[in-house]
Amino acid sequence: MSTITEAEKESNSPKGKGGWRTSVLDNNYEVLVVSNFTLYGILKGNKPDFHSSMSADEAKVIYEKFIEKMGKCYTSEKVKAG
């Protein structure tokens, strides 16, 4: 594993040249997982239509499995759901 310098961490913003140089793992950041039910919505006129979307019960199972897997792959205390 490579050592990340403070200068590299400071340049780790999208505004910095070269894009992201370090990861969440490198920086020991917390992760907030937020569900986004609008990903499968389509517009019908001015209103979104979610009839083709997965049911809330099915989607919740997948969302919770994802959070569980994130906790296993990373530090579970640093993975939050919202």
Got the DSSP string for 50-66? -TTSPPHHHHHHHHHHH
Report, as an integer, the average pLDDT of 51-69.
Answer: 89
Q: Which CATH superfamily is domain 24-81 in?
A: D-tyrosyl-tRNA(Tyr) deacylase (3.50.80.10)
Which pTM value belongs to this model?
0.62
Q: Where are the domains of the chain?
A: 24-81
Catalytic positions are 38
> pLDDT per residue over 6-48, tens digit each?
665 555 555 555 667 888 989 999 999 998 766 677 888 888 8
- Specify whether the CB–CB gap between 67 and 58 falls below 8 A: no
